[in-house]
Structure 1
Amino acid sequence: MKRFTLLSSLALCMLLTACSHSDQAAHPRYLPDDDMCGASQFQNYVGKPLRAVDDLQLEQPVRAIPAYASVSMDFILRRINFLANDKGMITRVYCG
């Protein structure tokens, strides 16, 4: 009798688990916009000297990153990063 009760309980648990549903479709994960800082507006800086960033007066944070520089790994969605190569020319503009 104990064995029958145990097997019945196990079967009931499996049945209830199979019938459950997740609510992920109703609440999709938040995916941040790739351009929350507006980096797309500054793509024309690619190919210019990194010192050109010094003249920018923006409200959001800006980070000029020379080649081989050490930078913090903190990710700030609204910060614009200007990455330069070893010749001091901007090669990439991105958020983070």
Structure 2
Amino acid sequence: MKFYGKLALITALVTLAACQHGQKNSDSAAVTDPDADRCGASAYQNYVGQPLSALSKLQFEHPVRAIPYNSAVTMDFNLNRLNFLGDKDNVITRVYCG
């Protein structure tokens, strides 16, 4: 009986190992759903790490909201609006639709 128990355990472990998925690289995890990226946030990810003042030189076709650190904003959800979230130093930390 011990032999069959060990064989069943090994079979279970091999089966579970076959079910695991590898992690994707963060670069390949970009937004691919067009509905989730209606505002075009994926095109502005290169602004992460730049100052919020860099946005004043740009023109946008969608509504845009620059959100300085610790500021009050409305909680309405608009998938067509592009949001730039800033930190304490007014550096862009996140670009997203909403």
TM-score tier after normalising by the smaller chain length: 0.5 to 0.7
**CA RMSD of superposed structures (Å):** 1.1
Give the alignment partner of residue 33 of structure 1, picking from 32, 35, 39: 35
| Residue of structure 2 equivalent to 1:57 | 59
Q: Which runs of 5+ in 2 are unaligned?
A: 1-33
Residue in structure 1 matched with residue 19 of structure 2 by the alignment: none
The equivalent residue for 1:95 is 97
| CA deviation after TM superposition for structure 1 residue 54, in Å | 1.2
**Alignment match, 1:86:** 88
Runs of 4+, deviation exceeding 3 Å = none
Q: CA–CA distance in 2 between the matches of 1:52 and 1:59?
A: 17
Mark the runs of 5 or more structure 1 residues left unpaired by the alignment. 1-31
| Overall identity of the aligned pairs, in % | 62
Q: TM-score, normalised by structure 2?
A: 0.64
Q: Shift of residue 59 of structure 1?
A: 1.6
Please, what TM-score do these two structures have when normalized by structure 1? 0.65
Residue in 2 that maps onto 1:28: none
